[in-house]
Amino acid sequence: MIDNETKTTYTLELYKEDKRYNKGHRMVYKQDYNNITKEQAEDIANDLVAVGIGHFYKIHLTFVTKKNLLSGIEFQERYDTPYYCSPSSEAYWSS
């Protein structure tokens, strides 16, 4: 079987329902996995979490492409970079 999906870096975040938090859940695990497909990341998540018992997961591409606000040059940054720390935001340049 030929795998047409390209391998890349994914980040797996596992959450647990917790009513003590405003969002109603809290993160309990976060891990980057290199050179895997999204299907492989989902298999890993399903092995780690008991879905339906107050746990759930999110899978993100670890690096996203954005454009520098001043130069217009595209660059890669982590998906979880705060807005004010990203050269793609006005907040980054206005301090």
Domain boundaries, the chain: 1-61, 63-95
What is the b/e burial string over 55-64, where b = at least 16 CB atoms within 10 angstroms of the residue's CB?
A: bbbeebebbe
Q: How far is CA 36 from the centre of its chain?
A: 14
How many angstroms separate the CA atoms of 77 and 93, rounded? 16
Q: Quote the tokens at residue 46.
A: 């399903």
Phi, then psi, of 32 in degrees rounded to 5: -90, 140
pLDDT per residue, tens digit, the chain (95 aa), is: 445 568 899 999 999 999 899 999 999 999 999 999 999 999 999 888 765 678 889 999 999 999 999 999 999 999 999 999 999 999 999 96
Phi, then psi, of 33 in degrees rounded to 5: -125, 120
